[in-house]
Amino acid sequence: IADSMRGRVNSEEGSLQLGGLSEYMGKLADAKRIIIVGCGTSWHAGLVAEYIFEELARIPVEVEYASEFRYRNPIIREKDFVIAISQSGETADTLAAIQLAKSKGATIFGVCNVVGSSIARETHAGAYTHAGPEIGVASTKAFTAQVTVLTQMAIAVAKKRGTISEGLYRQLLIELENIPRKVEQVLKAADKIKEIAFIFTYARNFIYLGRGLNFPVALEGALKLKEISYIHAEGYPAAEMKHGPIALIDEDMPVVFIATKDSSYEKVVSNIQEVKARKGRVIAIVTEGDSLIHSMVDFVIEIPKTHEILMPLLSSIPLQLLSYYIAVMRGRNVDQPRNLAKSVTV
């Protein structure tokens, strides 16, 4: 995350510069719609960005799996701005989606990790995430770096469009600068997360629930568990639980809530009550000092306070650690999970 921000964010000067974006900033600020494409974890980063771009910059956003987009006949209009996200920069579906959008006249901006990769070369412009090489196959630091870069883009374009106040702009820059230190604080919960992982090592299913910006975090938490531990896991918006998944809940079902103090906090608290009433076992990611949820659930993992917009950068990390420890305890090779490739080039 720190590398994704280095040289770009300076809260004292009030500056936020993304080299790759400067030439295309006018196009982004003028966009009638942003279309985001990506696969897997990169698609989840796109979902986080949807909330942030719409909230701050008030530009409508659509997020689509590149693997679907490429086989449809999508409508691309003048003033659509396409953002393609990829850790490896080599994912065949994302590359094909870019080529399709380009053939329809769209402007394509890449958010990639690997410098000089095929996707970086195929896009009109882009910003590198600078997350360094992912050692394992499953994206972890790539996710937080992608979200960092996309958040910076959203803040910068919101400033340009005048859709956020100077006060909020400054506050977000200061908070962004605080994020690497707060991530270190989250990592201190590793031992506690390990203990929780030990208890749930042999669970057969997991549900992850969150609202708002924490909904894509729930999806990402579930994907990490599937990818590296091979446990069936589903992520849902917490409010959707009553429309189906609630039927799954009993004393054998671990439910992971991302329940940080934000605008949907009270609603999430009532979702937790619904799960507890059905004897579900709840692990909650909460904002530090939250005594209410502490008194309701089986396990809590505390993370530091930050602005709601930046919360996914912190709330995703305990979920990555939980998957990691469960996978290790089950004897899985976390760096090289079965059936997965680092870049899916077919």
Measured between alpha carbons, how far is 229 from 245 in angstroms, rounded to an integer?
22
Measured between alpha carbons, how far is 7 from 18 in angstroms, rounded to an integer?
9
Measured between alpha carbons, how far is 192 from 182 in angstroms, rounded to an integer?
17
**Could you tell me which of 43, 37, 34 has the C-alpha nearest to residue 153?**
34
The verdict on 41 binding ligand F1P (CB under 6 A) reads: yes
The correct pick among 49, 137, 217, 314 for binding ligand F1P (CB under 6 A) is 137
**Could you tell me which of 65, 20, 23 has the C-alpha nearest to residue 41?**
65
Measured between alpha carbons, how far is 26 from 113 in angstroms, rounded to an integer?
24
Measured between alpha carbons, how far is 47 from 269 in angstroms, rounded to an integer?
23
Helix 311-329 with 214-229: angle, nearest 10 deg: 20
Pick the stretch among 27-35, 173-181, 284-292, 335-343 that binds ligand F1P (CB under 6 A). Answer: 335-343
The correct pick among 39, 98, 100, 157 for binding ligand F1P (CB under 6 A) is 39
The verdict on 94 binding ligand F1P (CB under 6 A) reads: yes
The verdict on 118 binding ligand F1P (CB under 6 A) reads: no
Helix 311-329 with 141-161: angle, nearest 10 deg: 170
182 is catalytic: no
CA 209 to each of CA 82, 130, 220, 237, 320: distance values in angstroms, whole numbers, following the listed order: 29, 30, 11, 6, 15
Pick the stretch among 38-46, 52-60, 70-78, 300-308 that binds ligand F1P (CB under 6 A). Answer: 38-46
In the complex with ligand F1P, which residue's Cβ is closer, 33 or 342? 342
Distance of closest approach, residue 301 Cβ to ligand F1P, in angstroms: 23
Among positions 180-219, residues that touch ligand F1P (CB under 6 A) are none
Length of the chain: 346
Q: Which of 192, 194, 305, 342 is catalytic?
A: 342
Q: Which long-range contacts (CB under 8 A, 24 or more apart) does 161-168 make?
A: 161/29, 161/57, 161/58, 161/59, 163/56, 163/57, 163/58, 164/56, 164/57
The correct pick among 17, 171, 178, 343 for binding ligand F1P (CB under 6 A) is 343
CA distance between the termini of the chain: 30
In the complex with ligand F1P, which residue's Cβ is closer, 114 or 197? 114
Among positions 252-311, residues that touch ligand F1P (CB under 6 A) are none
The correct pick among 28, 36, 67, 88 for binding ligand F1P (CB under 6 A) is 88
The verdict on 340 binding ligand F1P (CB under 6 A) reads: yes
In the complex with ligand F1P, which residue's Cβ is closer, 225 or 284? 225
Distance of closest approach, residue 239 Cβ to ligand F1P, in angstroms: 26
By beta carbon distance, the residue nearest ligand F1P is: 40
- Given a contact cutoff of 8 angstroms between Cβ atoms, the answer to whether 147 and 161 are in contact is no
CA 114 to each of CA 90, 134, 147, 233: distance values in angstroms, whole numbers, following the listed order: 9, 10, 16, 29
The verdict on 138 binding ligand F1P (CB under 6 A) reads: yes
The verdict on 344 binding ligand F1P (CB under 6 A) reads: yes
Query: Residue 83: helix, strand or coil by DSSP?
Result: strand
Pick the stretch among 26-34, 134-142, 254-262, 291-299 that binds ligand F1P (CB under 6 A). Answer: 134-142
The verdict on 316 binding ligand F1P (CB under 6 A) reads: no
The verdict on 86 binding ligand F1P (CB under 6 A) reads: yes
The verdict on 82 binding ligand F1P (CB under 6 A) reads: no
The correct pick among 20, 40, 110, 304 for binding ligand F1P (CB under 6 A) is 40
Distance of closest approach, residue 113 Cβ to ligand F1P, in angstroms: 7
Measured between alpha carbons, how far is 346 from 344 in angstroms, rounded to an integer?
6
Give the total of residues touching ligand F1P (CB under 6 A): 16
| Catalytic site positions | 342
Instruction: Enumerate binding residues for ligand F1P (CB under 6 A).
Output: 39-42, 86-88, 91, 94, 137-139, 340, 342-344
